[in-house]
Structure 1
Amino acid sequence: MRGFRPGLVPTLVVAVLVPLMVCLGFWQLSRGEYKRVLMQQYAERRVAPPMDSTELAQTTDPAFRVVELQGHFDVEHSILLDNRQHDGQVGVELLQPFLDRATGAWLLVNRGWLPWPDRRTPPVFSTPEQPVSVQAWVYVAPGATFQLHADPVAAPWPRLVTAIEPDKLWAELGRSGFSYELRQQGGPGAYRTDWPVVSMGPEKHLGYAVQWFAMAAALFGLFLYLGWHNAGRPHGKHHESNQHV
């Protein structure tokens, strides 16, 4: 096309970056829709009547369902989930195995967040010694937890970790247990339990999608301008020959 000369390098850059930016924009839209459905499901199931623990094993889709539990906590195998923040304070979440009396199954119950301002001393927590009745909801993570490095195997208890993997815990302890974390809803032994459902809401994904689409449009617009601008400039040799006529 004689009236459009953007140059080889700009053409290659645009050919690579514009499709990539558009794909990232649509990916953000899909993630936002997924989070929207997830939050809607969470809201619906949190207001539903609690289910009995005997029904939990037969449930094909347990995410966010509230369960009634009766039993006791295992204080000897406490887990501290590191790098948790609330209101600008650093802390941990306390998780403990819970033996359900009705089913005889083990469940990993998150008792909530507690502050840990001084890492030179271990976090202080207490555990009910008597059997308790608690309500908890099933937490199914929207994706795998990012870790810079894997948690050490066979670390001492209470164990400080950066990711929760119930199946690995049950295998280590030689127990039969539920595959997902349950988050306690207040009640006996609960700490701070106001977790967000997702770390990034649908509106943020929409905002990122708009940014990717805007950058793609701006880059393509700059490419068009460069092509037309270069086409309007005379070639060097032709320009010199005109000056000598």
Structure 2
Amino acid sequence: MQYSQHATEHRSRHAARTFRPGLAPTLVVLALLPVLIALGCWQLSRASEKRTLLAAAEAQRQLDPISAAELARLPPRSYVRVRLQGRLDAEHSVLLDNRTRNGQAGVEVLQPFFDRVGHQWLLVNRGWVAWPDRRVPPQIETPIHDLLLDAWTYVPPTAGPTAPVAGWPRLVTQVDAPFLWDQLGREGSPLEIRLEPGDAAFDTDWPIVAMPPERHIGYAVQWFALAIALSGLYLYLGIRRARETHDHDRHDPA
């Protein structure tokens, strides 16, 4: 028993001689290391969520489109394919501002669409067009005949307070379909309907997610690398200080 206690005390003294990081560095590591690890794990979780979202969206977009009448009976959700039959309202265009493609400034063009099968109004996003010169309105051509369009649904983020804007086309920074229908005095779907490539569509290359899973993985690697670097620095500092203290004690026994 005494030998075991003596051995334990000996190991403790030896560890103290080989590793003495100090109180301040220890407190810093205890505070920062869990945060860095948690941030890395959170980024991995976000990457997993994005992969799941992309897979679900792709699965939805492989299905046959439903009619606008069937869509009206479903709860609002994104990435549901829908087939529209009707006509665009060229008199009430909405330009979604601050949209860039390949470094070029532009807008997304949204217009009311009356579907003759579902007998309802929908807000159709025809896609992106360039707008390099803000002094000149973008050129938007709208078919005046009946159209048969394939599209998919998108639930836009909750819009903040929207102030009424006079005149058409109307320049906005967020999509607010209910507000638009209220302004027009119409009953319409709260969804944004994004066209697939085809008739009446402009540039429809929308990203499903703003940040791909690969970027989240890259951020996770960075956070974990910082955690490893902090741990390595802490170990180095502890060993170095222990050696300096040991050398000082050995040369100055008093």
For residue 170 of structure 1, what is the aligned residue in structure 2?
A: 181
Is 1:231 equivalent to 2:242 in the alignment? yes
TM-score calculated relative to the size of structure 1: 0.85
More divergent stretch after superposition (124-133 vs 26-35): 124-133
Counterpart residue identity of residue 225, structure 2: A
For residue 25 of structure 2, what is the aligned residue in structure 1?
A: 10
- Alignment partner of 2:24: what SS? helix
For residue 96 of structure 1, what is the aligned residue in structure 2?
A: 111
Counterpart selection for 1:58 from 70, 73, 82: 73
Counterpart CA distance in 2 for 1:122 and 1:41 is: 38
For residue 3 of structure 2, what is the aligned residue in structure 1?
A: none
- Corresponding residue pairs, total: 238
Is 1:153 equivalent to 2:195 in the alignment? no
Assess, with a 3 A threshold, how the Cα gap between structure 1 residues 154 and 238 changes in structure 2: closer, same or farther: same
Equivalent pair of 2:76/2:155 in contact (CA under 8 Å): no
Assess, with a 3 A threshold, how the Cα gap between structure 1 residues 46 and 237 changes in structure 2: closer, same or farther: closer
Assess, with a 3 A threshold, how the Cα gap between structure 1 residues 219 and 174 changes in structure 2: closer, same or farther: farther
Equivalent pair of 1:151/1:162 in contact (CA under 8 Å): no
Is 1:19 equivalent to 2:34 in the alignment? yes
TM-score calculated relative to the size of structure 2: 0.82
Q: Which runs of 5+ in 2 are unaligned?
A: 1-11
Residue deviations 1:102-126, cap 9 Å, x none?
Answer: 2232211110111111112121112
- What is the percentage of aligned positions where both structures have the same residue? 49
After TM superposition, list the pairs within 5 Å mapping 1:6-155 onto structure 2.
Answer: 6-60=21-75, 62-140=77-155, 153-155=163-165
* Bigger proportion of residues as helix: 2
For residue 197 of structure 1, what is the aligned residue in structure 2?
A: 208
Assess, with a 3 A threshold, how the Cα gap between structure 1 residues 17 and 171 changes in structure 2: closer, same or farther: farther
Post-superposition offset of 1:133: 1.9
Counterpart residue identity of residue 210, structure 1: V
Cα-Cα RMSD: 2.6
Post-superposition offset of 1:77: 2.5
- Alignment partner of 1:232: what SS? helix
Which runs of 4 or more aligned residues in structure 1 lie more than 6 Å from their structure 2 counterparts after TM superposition? none
Q: Which runs of 5+ in 1 are unaligned?
A: none
Larger radius of gyration between Structure 1 and Structure 2: 2
